[in-house]
């Protein structure tokens, strides 16, 4: 029976500073490094052995994956990168402090930007130096594919083709797969996998560096799902 584990990266420097991050390529904080190591040790201790891993183009997820692989003695497995696993693009909010914006715009507006399914934060202007079109790692994409802001619905729209084209076929072939990604790109994937409604998805918050494990039937149906926490498995 193949299994799939989804892991959100460990704490990043901007999680620590409470700033909207999105596609900004910030690294893990020291705590995030420790959290990622601990997740790797827990997966190793639980007897998990992945055949391959997927991650985004963003270093906080890539580094989390490397630390997990290191502590599982699994650095040799293929780790495949796909920009479609990137965090939800936070548009012009990227870099801003969440608490300061709550003061300016109010808790309800902040909640809409952060957790509503369909609302897009304000767009990043095309000539804004923060725009991803200036980054070498997206040079292979058509300009129209590079977002200037995304709702969670937009994020689901780009994550699912990656799931269908690259990840799901490997599970159906019998491989055990680890995916290291982000709070919102994983919320989008979990929404699809577990059939969570648009109304309920704002209540799902995926914790930092805690593997969410799915045991699958050979046809891909979910048999069992749980978080692998320090104190033991916890059903979700
Ligand atoms: O800033 C971000 O990119 C995300 C994830 O850290 O934040 P939020 O939880 O507010 O969607």
User: Which tens digit of pLDDT belongs to each residue from 75-100?
Assistant: 999 999 999 999 999 999 999 999 99
Percent residues over pLDDT 70 in the chain: 100
Q: From the alpha carbon of 205, which atom of ligand 1 is closest?
A: 9
Handedness of CA 119, 121, 125, 131 (dihedral sign): negative
The whole-number pLDDT of residue 188 equals 98
154 CA distance to ligand 1 centroid (A)?
A: 15
Query: Which 3 state secondary structure label does DSSP give 194?
Result: helix
What is this model's ipTM? 0.95
Percent residues over pLDDT 90 in the chain: 96
**Residues 25, 156: Cα–Cα separation, whole Å:** 20
47 CA distance to ligand 1 centroid (A)?
A: 31
**Residues 185, 183: Cα–Cα separation, whole Å:** 6
Order the strands of the 177-181 sheet from edge to edge.
79-81, 52-55, 177-181, 3-8, 212-216, 222-229, 232-235
Of all protein residues, the one whose alpha carbon is nearest to atom 5 of ligand 1 is 183
Question: Is 229 marked as binding a ligand?
Answer: no
Cα→Cα distances 101→21, 54, 118, 130, 150, Å: 14, 33, 20, 19, 18
pLDDT in tens, 125-144: 999 999 999 999 999 999 99
Ligand 1 pocket test, candidate residues 151, 183, 205, 207, most atoms within 8 A of CB: 183
Question: Is 205 marked as binding a ligand?
Answer: no
44 CA distance to ligand 1 centroid (A)?
A: 28
**Residues 84, 185: Cα–Cα separation, whole Å:** 8
Of all protein residues, the one whose alpha carbon is nearest to atom 10 of ligand 1 is 114
Query: Which 3 state secondary structure label does DSSP give 6?
Result: strand
218 CA distance to ligand 1 centroid (A)?
A: 34
Task: Decide whether any atom of ligand 1 lies within 6 Å of the 21 Cβ.
Answer: yes
Query: Which 3 state secondary structure label does DSSP give 67?
Result: helix
The whole-number pLDDT of residue 150 equals 98
- Segment 96-110 shows an average pLDDT of 97
Q: From the alpha carbon of 90, which atom of ligand 1 is closest?
A: 3
Of all protein residues, the one whose alpha carbon is nearest to atom 7 of ligand 1 is 20
18 CA distance to ligand 1 centroid (A)?
A: 9
Task: Decide whether any atom of ligand 1 lies within 6 Å of the 184 Cβ.
Answer: yes
The whole-number pLDDT of residue 230 equals 78
Domains of the chain, first to last: 3-90+150-235 (3.40.50.1240)
The whole-number pLDDT of residue 113 equals 96
- Given a contact cutoff of 8 angstroms between Cβ atoms, the answer to whether 167 and 175 are in contact is no
Which pair of structure tokens corresponds to residue 128?
A: 């804004």
DSSP output for 114-162: HH-SSPPPPPPPTT-TT-GGGSGGGTTS-GGGS-S---HHHHHHHHHHH
- Given a contact cutoff of 8 angstroms between Cβ atoms, the answer to whether 55 and 27 are in contact is no
Question: Is 184 marked as binding a ligand?
Answer: yes
The whole-number pLDDT of residue 231 equals 78
For residue 233, is pLDDT > 90? no
- Residue partners of 194: CB distance under 8 A and separation at least 6: 222, 225
pLDDT in tens, 28-63: 999 999 999 999 999 999 999 999 999 999 999 999
In which band, very low, low, confident or very high, does the pLDDT at 108 lie, cut at 50, 70 and 90?
Answer: very high
Q: Which residues are catalytic, by number? A: 9, 87
């Amino acid at each position: 029976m193949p299994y799939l584990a989804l892991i959100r990266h460990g704490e990043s420097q901007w999680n620590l500073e409470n700033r909207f991050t999105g596609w900004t390529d910030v690294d893990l904080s020291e705590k995030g490094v420790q959290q990622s190591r601990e997740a790797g040790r827990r997966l190793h201790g639980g007897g998990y052995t992945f055949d391959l891993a997927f991650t985004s183009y963003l270093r906080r997820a890539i580094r989390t994956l490397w630390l997990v692989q290191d502590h599982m003695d699994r650095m040799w497995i293929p780790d495949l990168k796909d920009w479609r696993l990137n965090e939800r693009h936070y548009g012009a909010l990227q870099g801003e402090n969440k608490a300061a914006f709550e003061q300016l715009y109010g808790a309800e507006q902040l909640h809409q930007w952060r957790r509503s399914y369909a609302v897009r934060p304000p767009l990043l202007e095309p000539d804004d130096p923060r725009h991803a079109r200036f980054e070498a790692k997206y040079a292979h994409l058509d300009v129209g594919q590079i977002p200037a802001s995304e709702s969670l619905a937009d994020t689901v729209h780009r994550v699912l083709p990656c799931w269908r084209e690259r990840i799901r076929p490997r599970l159906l072939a019998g491989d055990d797969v680890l995916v290291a990604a982000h709070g919102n790109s994983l919320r989008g994937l979990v929404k699809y996998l577990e059939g969570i409604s648009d109304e309920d998805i704002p209540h799902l918050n995926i914790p930092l560096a805690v593997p969410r494990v799915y045991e699958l039937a050979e046809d891909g149906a979910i048999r069992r799902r749980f978080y692998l926490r320090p104190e033991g498995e916890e059903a979700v």
